[in-house]
Amino acid sequence: MNALRRRSTVWLMNFRDQPPPSMDGPPRALRALGLVAMATVVGSTFFTDPKPSLHGDGPLVIVGIVLLVGGLALAYRRFEWFEGARLTGLSTEYVEQTNLRIDPGRFRKELLRDKRLAIGRLDARFTTTDLDAAGEQEEFDPSNTALQGAWTAMFMDYVKNELKWDTDLHFYSSGNVRPWTYDQNRYMDMTEPLRTTMAKNPYLKVLVAAGYYDMATPFHGIEMNMWHLAYDPSYTQRFAFEYYEGGHMMYIRPSAHKKLADDITKFIASTERSSSRSKTTPNAATPK
């Protein structure tokens, strides 16, 4: 899931796919030694006289098998590192050092480290230059900093000039919402409450609007949840997915803003048509 999210960011950055991992080095050497050891035993068995005893050559056979299997295992491990690097745009060495467990914050710092840049969390298209290019975490989220002033001013203008609502109350544009109330030893998952709600209301439909460059709520996470929602078409057919070349607030891009508005309009219209048809169709669960 995280790899797909990062792959969309890598796609944005126009990274080229890395070349396949070389089969030279330790993997090939181990496999070669294993084959040599086993070939020695086989050759001595068929082409020497008297025939060597199995007891004498047994350890050599075992050594050959161990070396051969070890070479194959190491080659597969190197392929895993390569795949991780290909999906994330990071170096194979970095993926190896993290044991294939790449923290999102470290990813945002590492991806463009060679350019002394860190990418945004809410929107990976935004970048910034941190004080410490060798650090592990970005100083701040450049996408949030770039947008916060604009939408705060827009909100204040809307409530005061359009809604004509004036107050001395102080509003926070963002605040500390931690600590979250998580279940112990598991991630936050609201899939089951949604399934229950949809079971109780068979007319409920859901529109999922996902930004490719959103690293706060990754688009593939909601895909995984919806695909596994009760494993039943009666639920999954009531979901609509729309994707945008944007981040958490995909509507900051004019073309994405228009597409989002059109998609919402179409979604509402489709639910109204479905509701009209359902009213003309007798419901077997309704008493007559």
- Determine what percent of the chain is predicted with pLDDT higher than 90: 28
Q: In terms of pLDDT, which residue wins out, 93 or 279?
A: 93
Read off the pLDDT of residues 224-251 as tens digits, 9 standing for 90 and up.
888 888 778 888 889 899 999 999 999 9
Q: pTM surpassing 0.85?
A: no
Read off the pLDDT of residues 60-86 as tens digits, 9 standing for 90 and up.
556 666 666 666 666 667 777 788 888
Strand partners, 119: 127
| Buried-exposed string 51-79: b where 16+ CB fall within 10 A, e elsewhere | eeeeeebeeeeeebeebbebbeebbeebe
DSSP 174: S
The whole-number average pLDDT for the span 254-282 is: 80
Q: In terms of pLDDT, which residue wins out, 77 or 260?
A: 260
Give the tokens for residue 45: 């068995």
Strand partners, 128: 118
Nearest to 213, CA basis, from 248, 237, 183, 240: 248
Amino acid, res. 26 = P
Residue with tokens 């991780």: 84
Residue with tokens 């709520």: 217
Q: For residue 141, what pLDDT is reported?
A: 94
Amino acid, res. 240 = A
The whole-number average pLDDT for the span 194-221 is: 91
Alpha helices in 48-91 (DSSP H): 54-88
Read off the pLDDT of residues 184-205 as tens digits, 9 standing for 90 and up.
666 777 888 999 999 999 999 9
Question: Which of the four pLDDT bands, split at 50, 70 and 90, describes residue 130?
Answer: confident
Q: How far apart are CA 51 and CA 215, in angstroms?
A: 66
Query: Exposed, middle or buried, 136 (CB in 10 Å: 0-12/13-18/19+)?
Result: exposed
Q: How far apart are CA 253 and CA 246, in angstroms?
A: 7
Question: Which of the four pLDDT bands, split at 50, 70 and 90, describes residue 284?
Answer: very low
Give the tokens for residue 49: 């006289």
Residue by residue, DSSP assigns 114-167 as GGT-EE-SS-TT-EE--S-TT-SS-SS-HHHHHHHHHHHHHHHHIIIIIS----
